[in-house]
């Protein structure tokens, strides 16, 4: 096996885990089928585990006529169903179908159909229309005995919702049938109890050796739903339930590499750490970072590690939040670990447990109205005497902070970007050591050259490695996503991928106008229908069903809990939306926000940077200019000068006079730009002496945005470089030391906003979001009476709210790792305040630029 092949070989699930997942899927789908009895007037009862061992569930009439038979099969996401397997199922059905002339047969799977599997489904569709040609050809080719008449009553249902989604469907169906319900809380409680009872029947009766006892009568289900008890048996939160859930988490397979975090605005001297350690130090932790930086992975890994320490972390997604129903969201998180029948009251009780952590992902990505409602729920929660710890994750740190009460102390964290050592470790661990460190180094270097700063992103780095291992080109993230989608389409037998990605892209571009990358099934069908209509009007031939099928069967679109439809990863939604922008199927946002940056970057990679895109970015997202301008490649023309000046009018700091800019060519024909020289305009052939040797000169062959960005960098550096202040005098006493450090903290608190004001521009608000906390607090150690105050040790950390009135503490019960840095008093006497403010602001600018620009 080659090293590249080793990378592609992923470990498979343990057979025991796979079997358990298969049973869970069968039981959940049987529950769905049992509830279907309520909608079929002819149906009388369901039998689970048929006597023939060919089907998993059978629906009978009162007279014992088989109406419908179903086989439930789970399939891992990495595999598809092919012709041979499906034909084998049809052979088994054909053997018994003659005994049940009125029955339909369903092969139900949560897996995807491969190219040959889809041909079998197409043949069955044709057979139901009276044309058995295709299914006969398949049977002949496979030398299989298939009865065409039986196939005319057979269906293949692929991409069926899995266990969690099926249970959620059952809950909704039961709630719709409950009589005499006083409100939503009672409906949730009673439906949860009914689903548990139904699963109890299915699991218990399916193992009975007597076929007559493996039945679930419709009348029994109706009695279950009509039970109007004064007291409904419910699941309460308990330590036993907590340990049951911990055991389930511990059984999950951990990832091959671990991501760490560090405090924002803590400087390069801060150590990285696992986020659960920050949660142990503080009730509330915020985790922010751009898409693909590993925020969801950080929380998932924290859940696994915490469980090994006996600590439960409940991971949920803000997309599943229903306004004013935080308990219901927590219950959903509990049932996602293992379906235990938790409902909102269970979740509310769990929220009171201080040994539990609630981690909510995607908080800043949901619309403002539900985010405000979530904030109100969290405010009430954090005001109670006993409550869970809270971790909120999302792209926008300011939006995360705004969800919480201002007085609540928080720790701001961000995922640590990958460096070369981490990338090599990912490669070596991901292949179980089948590639050596030297080859891992080569692969990492190739991806780094192609992706540049984007290789710091775990999602993009891993995808780049997969593309290289498959022999596909990687020059930038957009090409990587394009190749990945084409590989998915190829693997699943789809052609004309450009039409499918345009249709899905149009759907995601429309969702982006409401600042979402997700919706429910109903809206998803509406979006795809509109996309199909748009494409057909443009002369293409595509249906809503074909778009939906491609999305699910390729694995590109997934259905998560509570009927949420989304892309496999947010970055795929952004790439597809950029495809729609590129093909003029959707309009660019007129006033793009920070949430639009990934889509605009993909567009720049796909099409380059024209005048309209450059203008959009320089006006609304100035700190994206360094990243976007890398993809500018335009033919030089005199209009560049006016464009450059227009960009600079948006970019330059407050009260900064626009410098003279001269575009000129030297004797070798190179196009150069001189800033701050003697001349201004599109000069033509000239010399450095004529345009001004005192100016800053650089190559200007890419385009006006690139030139403006270079000038912007020069001016920002000038504004950020302020005169050095003199060192502070050495304090002679403990009180003088405290006064000096307090003054430093107060001055820094003012220096950062002053620097932001000097920068000015439309990006200031985004810059403030990226900065995070910058109020510094000290823990002063050593002997207070020492004559050498400057040698006293201290620890420090950055906060957005002081938990008490003291900027300088001399005693603290907090562990040492609650502080992000350590030094001596002397270092703050010598440390220049403006350097500290500049470091904080520069780090924030570089994070917005998504590269080390300043």
SS3 per residue for 323-336? CCCHHHHHHHHHHH
Residue 595 has pLDDT above 70, yes or no: yes
User: What whole-number distance in Å separates Cα of residue 47 and Cα of residue 145?
Assistant: 27
- Choice between 293 and 648, residue whose per-residue pLDDT is larger: 648
In sequence order, the β-bridge partners of residue 107 are 71, 156
Residue 402 has pLDDT above 60, yes or no: yes
pLDDT, position 430 = 62
Once rounded to an integer, what is the mean pLDDT over residues 722-742? 83
Q: What is the mean pLDDT of the chain?
A: 86
Q: Which of 120-124, 528-532, 557-561, 645-649 has the lowest mean pLDDT?
A: 557-561
> What pLDDT does residue 206 have?
87
Please enumerate in sequence order all residues whose Cβ is within 8 A of that of 54, keeping only pairs 6 or more positions apart, or say none: 69, 71, 92, 93, 95, 96
CB atoms within 10 A of CB 801: 14
Residue 5 clears pLDDT 80, i.e. is over it: no
pLDDT band with cut points at 50, 70 and 90 for residue 9: very low
Q: Are strands 671-675 and 661-665 parallel, antiparallel or unpaired?
A: antiparallel
Domain boundaries defined on the chain: 15-226, 239-416, 422-603, 609-720, 734-849
pLDDT reading at 323 higher than 70: yes
pLDDT band with cut points at 50, 70 and 90 for residue 606: very high
The reported pLDDT for the residue numbered 641 is 96
What percent of the chain shows pLDDT beyond 90?
Answer: 45
Strand arrangement, sheet containing 808-809: 808-809, 775-780, 793-799, 821-824
DSSP per-residue letters across 591-646: S--GGGHHHHHHHHHHH---HHHHHHHHHH-GGGHHHHGGG------THHHHHHHH
Q: What percent of the chain has pLDDT over 70?
A: 92
239-416 classified as CATH 3.30.70.580? no
Query: What pLDDT does 534 receive?
Result: 94
What's the whole-number mean pLDDT along residues 763-776? 79
Render pLDDT for 663-693 as a digit per residue (tens, 0 to 9).
999 999 999 999 999 999 999 999 999 998 8
Residue 2: pLDDT band (50, 70, 90) is very low
Averaged pLDDT for residues 726-745: 88
Question: Regarding beta strands 154-157 and 104-109, do their DSSP bridges make them parallel or antiparallel, or are they unpaired?
Answer: parallel
User: pLDDT band at residue 182, thresholds of 50, 70 and 90?
Assistant: low
Nearest to 83 by CA among 26, 129, 143, 132: 143
* 3-state secondary structure at position 733: coil
- Given this model, what pLDDT does residue 103 score? 94
């Amino acid at each position: 096996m080659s090293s590249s092949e080793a990378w592609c070989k992923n470990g498979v699930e343990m057979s025991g885990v796979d079997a358990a997942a298969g049973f869970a899927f069968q039981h959940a789908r049987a529950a769905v089928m049992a509830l279907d009895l309520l909608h079929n007037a002819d149906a009388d009862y369901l039998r689970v585990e048929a006597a023939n061992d060919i089907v998993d569930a059978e629906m009978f009439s009162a007279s014992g006529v088989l109406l419908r038979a179903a086989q439930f099969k789970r399939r891992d996401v990495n595999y598809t169903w092919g012709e041979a397997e499906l034909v084998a199922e049809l052979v088994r059905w054909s053997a018994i179908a003659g005994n049940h002339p009125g029955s339909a047969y369903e092969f139900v799977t949560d897996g995807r159909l491969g190219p040959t599997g889809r041909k079998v489904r197409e043949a069955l569709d044709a057979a139901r229309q009276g044309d058995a040609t295709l299914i006969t050809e398949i049977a002949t080719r496979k030398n299989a005995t298939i009865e065409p008449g039986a196939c005319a009553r057979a269906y293949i249902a692929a991409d069926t919702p899995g266990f969690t989604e099926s249970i959620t469907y059952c809950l909704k169906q039961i709630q719709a049938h409950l009589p005499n319900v006083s409100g939503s809380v009672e409906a949730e409680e009673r439906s949860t109890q009914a689903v548990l009872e139904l699963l109890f029947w299915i699991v218990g009766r399916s193992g009975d050796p007597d076929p007559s006892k493996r039945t679930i009568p419709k009348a029994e289900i109706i009695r279950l739903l009509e039970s109007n008890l004064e007291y409904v048996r419910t699941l309460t939160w308990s330590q036993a339930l907590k340990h049951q859930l911990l055991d389930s988490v511990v059984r999950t397979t951990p990832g091959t590499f671990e991501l760490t975090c560090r405090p924002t605005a803590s400087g390069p001297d801060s150590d990285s750490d696992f986020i659960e350690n920050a949660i142990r130090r503080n009730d509330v932790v915020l985790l922010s970072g751009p898409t693909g930086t590993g925020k969801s992975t950080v929380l998932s890994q924290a859940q696994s590690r915490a469980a090994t320490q006996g600590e439960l972390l409940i991971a949920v997604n803000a997309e599943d939040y229903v306004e004013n129903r935080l308990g219901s969201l927590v219950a959903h998180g509990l049932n996602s670990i293992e379906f235990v029948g938790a409902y909102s009251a269970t979740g509310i009780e769990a929220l009171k447990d201080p040994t539990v952590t609630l981690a909510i992902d995607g908080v800043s990505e949901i619309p403002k109205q539900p985010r405000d409602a979530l904030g109100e729920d969290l405010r009430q929660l954090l005001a109670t005497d006993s409550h869970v710890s809270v971790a909120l994750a999302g792209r926008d740190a300011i939006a995360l902070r705004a969800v919480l009460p201002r007085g609540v102390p928080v720790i701001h964290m961000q995922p640590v970007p990958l460096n070369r050592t981490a990338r090599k470790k990912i490669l070596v661990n991901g292949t179980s050591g089948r590639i050596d460190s030297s080859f891992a180094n080569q692969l990492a270097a190739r991806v780094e050259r192609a992706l540049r700063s984007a290789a710091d992103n775990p999602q993009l780095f891993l995808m780049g490695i997969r593309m290289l291992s498959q022999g596909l080109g990687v020059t930038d993230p957009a090409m990587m996503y394009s190749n990945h989608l084409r590989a998915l389409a190829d693997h699943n037998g789809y052609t004309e991928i450009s039409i499918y990605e345009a249709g899905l892209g149009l759907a995601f571009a429309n969702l982006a106008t409401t600042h979402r990358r997700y919706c429910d099934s109903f809206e998803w069908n509406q979006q795809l229908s509109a996309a199909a209509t748009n494409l057909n009007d443009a002369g293409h031939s595509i249906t809503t069903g074909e778009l939906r099928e491609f999305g699910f069967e390729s694995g590109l679109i997934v259905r998560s809990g509570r009927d949420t439809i989304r892309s496999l990863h947010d970055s795929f939604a952004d790439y597809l939306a950029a495809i729609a922008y590129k093909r003029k199927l959707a309009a660019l946002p007129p006033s793009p926000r920070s949430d639009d940056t990934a889509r605009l970057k993909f567009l720049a990679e796909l099409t380059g940077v024209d005048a309209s895109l450059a203008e959009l970015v320089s006006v609304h997202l100035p700190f994206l200019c360094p990243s976007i301008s890398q993809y500018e490649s335009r033919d030089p023309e005199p209009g560049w000068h006016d464009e450059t000046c227009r960009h600079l009018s948006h970019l330059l700091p407050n009260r900064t006079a626009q410098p003279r800019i001269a575009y000129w060519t030297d004797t070798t024909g190179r196009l150069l730009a001189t800033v701050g020289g003697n001349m201004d305009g599109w000069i033509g052939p000239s010399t450095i002496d004529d345009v001004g040797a005192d100016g800053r000169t650089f190559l200007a062959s890419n385009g006006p945005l690139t030139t403006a960005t270079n000038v912007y960098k020069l001016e920002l550096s000038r504004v950020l470089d302020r005169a050095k202040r003199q060192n502070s005098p050495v304090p002679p006493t403990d009180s003088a030391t405290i006064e000096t450090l307090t003054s430093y903290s107060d001055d820094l608190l003012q220096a950062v906003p002053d620097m932001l004001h000097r920068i000015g521009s439309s990006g200031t608000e985004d810059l403030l979001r990226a900065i995070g906390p910058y109020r510094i607090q000290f823990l002063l150690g050593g002997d207070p009476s020492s004559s050498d105050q400057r040698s006293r040790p201290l620890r420090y950390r950055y906060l957005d709210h002081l938990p008490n009135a003291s900027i300088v503490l001399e005693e603290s019960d907090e562990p040492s790792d609650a502080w992000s840095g350590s030094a001596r008093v002397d270092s703050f006497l010598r440390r220049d305040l403006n350097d500290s403010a500049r470091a904080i602001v520069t780090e924030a600018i570089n994070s917005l630029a998504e590269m080390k620009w300043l």
